[in-house]
Amino acid sequence: MPRIAVTVDGIRYEEDVEPRLLLVHLLRDRLGKTGTPVGCDTSNCGACTVMLDGKSVKSCSVLAVQADGSDVVTIEGLATAGTMHPMQRAFHEEHALQCGYCTPGMVMAAIDLLREDPDPSEETIRHGLEGNLCRCTGYCNIVRAVRRGAQSMGQAVTTP
């Protein structure tokens, strides 16, 4: 079994993994990072989105061995010293969730979106989040939250 080393939310782990193990299962089942949910397992919903070396990926479409030597940030690694990341706070303040199942992936994808466009229009946000499905909210508050998060991040500059 290959042995991999991966840093997740600032902690380095060394794990023996089967070559077919998906990153999302490494995170959830081996490292206890259950804040990253599995919504579909077919790369459709985006609920499992995490940052891999600074870029958002659907962790159900990445093998754990592909993350060897990489830095992974999950929704659980965003808060610092008990303070929510500005994008998490924006989702909270704009009521951008109902069941919350899509929210970790939405937040991670939104942060990645701002890397390319720190001040995105509604159209850019809707296009940028196309890979993340929400069954509950109708997306309006999510778009508002990303705008609000972008504004506060523009002031705070706290991209992971």
Site for ligand FES in 129-158 (CB under 6 A): 134-137
| 99 near ligand FES (CB under 6 A) | yes
Tokens of 79: 């808060």
Nearest partner of 48 among 101, 11, 5, judged by Cα = 101
**How many Cα atoms sit within 13 Å of 59 on the Cβ side?**
33
Token duo for residue 122: 């509604």
| 2 touches 19 (CB < 8 A) | yes
Query: Which CB sits closer to ligand FES, 147 or 158?
Result: 147
46 binds ligand FES per the rule CB under 6 A:
yes
**Residues contacting ligand FES: total by CB under 6 A:** 22
Q: Which is nearer to ligand FES, 80 or 127 (CB)?
A: 127
Binding mask 114-133 for ligand FES (x = CB under 6 A): --------------------
Residue 84 as a binder of ligand FES (CB under 6 A): the answer is no
Binding mask 13-42 for ligand FES (x = CB under 6 A): -------------------------xxxx-
Closer residue to ligand FES (CB): 133 or 157: 133
**Distant-in-sequence, close-in-space partners of 80: CB < 8 Å, separation ≥ 6:** 158
C-beta of residue 149 within 8 angstroms of C-beta of residue 114: yes
Q: Which two tokens stand for residue 5?
A: 């080393």
List the beta bridge partners of residue 49: 58
Interacting residues toward ligand FES by CB under 6 A: 38-41, 43-48, 58, 60, 97-102, 134-137
